Chain A
Amino acid sequence: MEPIEAFRNAAGNPHEYGRRQKNQGVNVLGYFCSYTPEEIIHAAGVHPMRLFGAQGDTGIADAHLQAYCCSLVRGALSDVLSGTLDYLDGAVFPHTCDSIQRLSDIWRLNTGFRFFADVVLPVKLTTESSRTYLEDVLRKFRHELEKGFGTTISDDDLRASLRRYNRIRATLKGLFEQYARNASPLSASDLNTIVRGSMVLDRQEAEENLSILSAQCRGSAPSRGSGKRVMLVGSVCEHPDIYELIERAGGHVVWDDLCTGSRYFEGTCSEDGDPIAAIAERYFERVICPAKHSSVTARGENLVRLSGQYQVQGVIFLQLKFCDPHSFDYPYLKETLDRAGFPNMILEIEAQLPPEGQLLTRFETFIHML
């Protein structure tokens, strides 16, 4: 199979892939957030499986969640209650936002998987005490995994995992940068699929496929690269169609600040020394998501920096409805971009996208103004 197909299959049918893993005797843990210390799960010989949530009927979750809950949380609960996630051995809940926090409770009380962990990370990533606490939480999680799966995770196991994740992240970043230079045979939609697929595929398989794909890309002529240069900002984007619509509207997504994009692959872990400290260090160094605190202007400064670095002409905020952390940041991010001279627009999204014609008109209007 062509590597790109492996990513497409995994991203398109993640649960089928997960079930296959389970049938092959692999333990599978679901997770929700880019702050999940996947490296430790992988080092335990357990497969980390990013959960995105159902996109269809989520009515089964209505008995537990009010209508004003975001589609990501509602979709995940719906998936687990409907049995779609029965192949899992459990799930990991990092402390992300108020909604994920309560999803953890509802999940714990309404499911019966063999493994469950809350990884209550610090919210501020600025002080020595929060760094110590973060490392303590990661060590606690390591012990919980060891106990839950009857295994031991040595420092060498962890370092091997860090090396693998560093290679995955570096290759993903390389593919994105090649695209941003208008030198890639891939499309932006492909890149979205590849990142999401990397969160689903067995990580060794992901690494190998990324490596082949990267070599193929180096030797191929660029097939894309026209149109206005756009950056996407938001939480997760599970809609490869958005990238194609933006292209039809005369733009192309050259960079992003998304959980399903640069926030997943930015930063590397030191491969020497204490591996737990190395994971913590990456969280401290990495660009934060709005549910974390580093400084009150960190995200705005980062967007302006990225916009300059990747010659972005316009920024599109993909705002997941009912997502509080992102909604709170939007007015200031908009103001920061306005001041720096980067035009921007906001698109509120839910699991189901608005009708295509309506989306296309909005993108066209924005992109023609650039």
Chain B
Amino acid sequence: MSTPEKEKNRKFRSAKRMREIMTEYYIDAKSASQTGKKVAWITSGGPVEPLIVMDVIPVYPENYGAMIGASHMGGDLCSKAEALGYSSDLCSYARADIACSLENGGPIGGLPRPDMLICCNNICGTVLKWYEVHARYFGVPLFIFDTPFCHTEFPDIARRYVRRQLDEYVVFLENVCGKPFDLHKADEVGRLSVEGQRLWQAVLDTAAHKPAPMTAFDAFFFLALIVTLRGTKTVVDFYKDLLAEMAERIEKGIWAIPNERYRLLWDNLPVWYRLKWLSDTFASHDACLVADTYTTAWCGSMKYIDENNFIDSMAEAYTRIYLNIGIDEMVKTIFTMIDKYEVDGMVMHSNRSCKPYSFGQYDIQRMVQEVKGIPCMVIESHMTDERSFSESQTATRIDAFMEMIRHKKG
């Protein structure tokens, strides 16, 4: 097969479908005011299923932040936020998104105005402050879903608190939407959510194959659906097709990196404005980023979900997600991934935009090196603010890191 033909084959046909779904989704969301539907802005780790039950369109400023980063609009928008008084040390998703709301601008002409805000702090404390900014600006109801941090345990007192908040969340939605919550529909949405998460995990699992049919960079792209439309049939159908495509690639021997020799694990959110550059740079070393701690976060707490008792069990699942646990708990997940994907090294993105994800990385790095004996490297950036990224410094570090891996593995 000729090289251009191979390149063509390496492109995912599901990518086209994914773009169509996301386009439809944003058109629906942006025309909500004409169709009479309500729009909720919700944090990426927030319980979206009750919104789907209520036929509310969930919109994710964080997904939008990723879009801003990937379109290289982050630097400009972040500087607008800084002119409004927001420190350049704050999360670049938040800065860029706040600038879009307050100053207008950003991709797809901005997000549709919210009718309500749903903030779940299972990913960080930043979202609380970010959503307070939006609540003041838009003057719409704010629901805070408070998930106590589980350093070493998820005590019963926290379980009861989170469970009670689910009831409060339902009442909040009934009040804002002016209609009752359909428990029967909730069961169905819960089932679809679990099915979607299971399929997403299965898609990620395909990268355990050596060589891998996909990279973490592909996962960053295909992640958008499990984040935004979890609990819908669209997601289930899409990931079924994607999974089939992965199986087909394995069958046909289409690998993400043509001559995969080294397998790496990525930690933290992506550097959205340098996805292609990073992907190409690692590929030039025959290195494949086969897995990452970020995209697995949307299926990592499936073990706590009881499909037949979704509402009750989601309290635990939403509280014990990857970022809401102690670093010694996080490292257990990392060890499992290192074994499962047979990883030769770890690339840690020290993300100035995400303190809860980044502080503790140095300790994790030491534990990984000691227990698993694999090299680790650190790349520093603000995930959506391209002004903070040094390409030459990062390239030098990657070269040195790959040299170490080559030396170790041969």
Give chain A's interface residues, CB within 8 Å of chain B: 63-66, 68-69, 95, 97-99, 101-106, 108-110, 118, 120, 122-124, 127, 129-130, 132-133, 136-137, 140, 290-291, 293, 296-297, 319, 321-322, 324-325, 327-332, 334
9 new A-B contacts at CB < 8 Å, known A296-B135, A324-B91, A325-B125: A66-B361, A69-B355, A95-B149, A101-B151, A105-B151, A118-B152, A122-B148, A123-B146, A291-B125
- A123 CA to B135 CA in the complex, in Å? 17
The digit string for B89-106, where 1 denotes a CB below 8 A from any CB of A, is: 111001000000000000
From B89, B144, B160, B356, A101 is in contact (CB under 8 Å) with B356
- Report whether A136 and B355 are in contact in the complex, using a CB–CB cutoff of 8 Å: no
Q: Given A99-B355, A129-B168, A296-B136, does the pair A328, B151 have CB atoms closer than 8 Å? A: no
- Report whether A106 and B359 are in contact in the complex, using a CB–CB cutoff of 8 Å: yes
From B133, B148, B352, A95 is in contact (CB under 8 Å) with B148
Give chain B's interface residues, CB within 8 Å of chain A: 84-87, 89-91, 94, 121, 124-126, 128-130, 132-133, 135-136, 142, 144, 146, 148-149, 151-152, 155, 157-158, 160-161, 164-165, 168, 326-328, 350, 352, 355-356, 358-363, 380
- A309 CA to B136 CA in the complex, in Å? 25
- Report whether B129 and A328 are in contact in the complex, using a CB–CB cutoff of 8 Å: yes
- Report whether A122 and B355 are in contact in the complex, using a CB–CB cutoff of 8 Å: no
- Report whether A334 and B85 are in contact in the complex, using a CB–CB cutoff of 8 Å: yes
Residues on the A chain within 8 Å of B89, using CB: 68, 321-322, 324, 327
Residues on the B chain within 8 Å of A140, using CB: 155, 157
Residues on the B chain within 8 Å of A105, using CB: 151, 326-328, 360, 363
- Report whether A102 and B124 are in contact in the complex, using a CB–CB cutoff of 8 Å: no
B52 CB → nearest A CB, Å: 24
Residues on the A chain within 8 Å of B359, using CB: 65-66, 69, 98-99, 102-103, 106
- A64 CA to B359 CA in the complex, in Å? 8
- A328 CA to B94 CA in the complex, in Å? 10
- Report whether A110 and B363 are in contact in the complex, using a CB–CB cutoff of 8 Å: yes
- Report whether B146 and A64 are in contact in the complex, using a CB–CB cutoff of 8 Å: no
- A28 CA to B28 CA in the complex, in Å? 59
A-B contact pairs, 15 of them (CB 8 A): A66-B352, A66-B358, A68-B352, A95-B149, A104-B151, A104-B326, A105-B327, A105-B363, A110-B363, A133-B160, A137-B157, A324-B91, A327-B86, A328-B86, A328-B130
A190 CB → nearest B CB, Å: 32
5 closest A-B pairs by CB: A331-B85, A328-B129, A102-B359, A133-B161, A136-B157
- Report whether A293 and B328 are in contact in the complex, using a CB–CB cutoff of 8 Å: no
A356 CB → nearest B CB, Å: 24
- Report whether A133 and B157 are in contact in the complex, using a CB–CB cutoff of 8 Å: yes
Q: Which of B87, B152, B161, B380 has the most CB of A within 10 A?
A: B87
- Report whether A64 and B362 are in contact in the complex, using a CB–CB cutoff of 8 Å: yes
Q: Given A63-B362, A69-B355, A106-B327, does the pair A118, B151 have CB atoms closer than 8 Å? A: yes
A328 CB → nearest B CB, Å: 3
Residues on the B chain within 8 Å of A101, using CB: 125, 149, 151, 356
Q: Given A102-B360, A109-B363, A110-B363, does the pair A328, B90 have CB atoms closer than 8 Å? A: yes
How many A-B contacts are there with CB distance less than 8 Å? 140
Residues on the A chain within 8 Å of B157, using CB: 133, 136-137, 140
Residues on the B chain within 8 Å of A331, using CB: 84-86
A136 CB → nearest B CB, Å: 4
- A98 CA to B324 CA in the complex, in Å? 10
- Report whether B362 and A327 are in contact in the complex, using a CB–CB cutoff of 8 Å: no
Q: Which of A132, A319, A331 has the most CB of B within 10 A?
A: A331
- Report whether A328 and B133 are in contact in the complex, using a CB–CB cutoff of 8 Å: yes
Q: Which of A98, A129, A330 has the most CB of B within 10 A?
A: A98
Residues on the B chain within 8 Å of A104, using CB: 151, 326
Q: Given A68-B89, A293-B128, does the pair A122, B326 have CB atoms closer than 8 Å? A: no
Residues on the A chain within 8 Å of B91, using CB: 324
B158 CB → nearest A CB, Å: 7
- A110 CA to B121 CA in the complex, in Å? 27
Q: Given A118-B149, A122-B161, does the pair A66, B350 have CB atoms closer than 8 Å? A: yes
Q: In the complex, what residue of chain A is closest to B165 when comparing beta carbons?
A: A129
From A118, A137, A328, B126 is in contact (CB under 8 Å) with A328
- A329 CA to B129 CA in the complex, in Å? 7
- Report whether A98 and B355 are in contact in the complex, using a CB–CB cutoff of 8 Å: yes
Q: In the complex, what residue of chain B is closest to A333 when comparing beta carbons?
A: B85
- A137 CA to B90 CA in the complex, in Å? 30
- A140 CA to B402 CA in the complex, in Å? 49
Residues on the B chain within 8 Å of A108, using CB: 151-152, 326
Residues on the B chain within 8 Å of A137, using CB: 157
Q: Given A105-B151, A122-B148, does the pair A324, B125 have CB atoms closer than 8 Å? A: yes
Q: In the complex, what residue of chain A is closest to B145 when comparing beta carbons?
A: A124
- Report whether A102 and B352 are in contact in the complex, using a CB–CB cutoff of 8 Å: no
Residues on the B chain within 8 Å of A68, using CB: 89, 352, 355
- Report whether B363 and A330 are in contact in the complex, using a CB–CB cutoff of 8 Å: no
- Report whether B161 and A130 are in contact in the complex, using a CB–CB cutoff of 8 Å: yes
- Report whether A98 and B125 are in contact in the complex, using a CB–CB cutoff of 8 Å: yes
A340 CB → nearest B CB, Å: 15
Q: Given A101-B149, A102-B360, A110-B363, does the pair A132, B85 have CB atoms closer than 8 Å? A: no
- Report whether A132 and B129 are in contact in the complex, using a CB–CB cutoff of 8 Å: no
Q: Given A127-B168, A133-B158, A296-B135, does the pair A324, B129 have CB atoms closer than 8 Å? A: yes
- A297 CA to B328 CA in the complex, in Å? 37
Q: Given A66-B359, A99-B359, A328-B130, does the pair A124, B151 have CB atoms closer than 8 Å? A: no
Residues on the A chain within 8 Å of B132, using CB: 293, 296, 328
- A322 CA to B382 CA in the complex, in Å? 14
Residues on the A chain within 8 Å of B90, using CB: 324, 327-328
- A293 CA to B131 CA in the complex, in Å? 11
- A106 CA to B367 CA in the complex, in Å? 12
- A184 CA to B212 CA in the complex, in Å? 74
Q: Given A101-B356, A133-B158, does the pair A123, B144 have CB atoms closer than 8 Å? A: yes
- Report whether B155 and A325 are in contact in the complex, using a CB–CB cutoff of 8 Å: no
Residues on the B chain within 8 Å of A330, using CB: 85-87
- Report whether B327 and A102 are in contact in the complex, using a CB–CB cutoff of 8 Å: yes
- A108 CA to B360 CA in the complex, in Å? 12
- A61 CA to B90 CA in the complex, in Å? 22
- A368 CA to B350 CA in the complex, in Å? 43
From A98, A102, A129, B161 is in contact (CB under 8 Å) with A129
Q: In the complex, what residue of chain A is closest to B85 when comparing beta carbons?
A: A331
- Report whether B360 and A324 are in contact in the complex, using a CB–CB cutoff of 8 Å: no
A287 CB → nearest B CB, Å: 16
Residues on the A chain within 8 Å of B380, using CB: 66
Q: Given A102-B355, A136-B157, A328-B132, does the pair A97, B87 have CB atoms closer than 8 Å? A: no
Q: Which of B91, B124, B125, B128 has the most CB of A within 10 A?
A: B125
Q: Given A109-B363, A327-B87, does the pair A120, B151 have CB atoms closer than 8 Å? A: yes
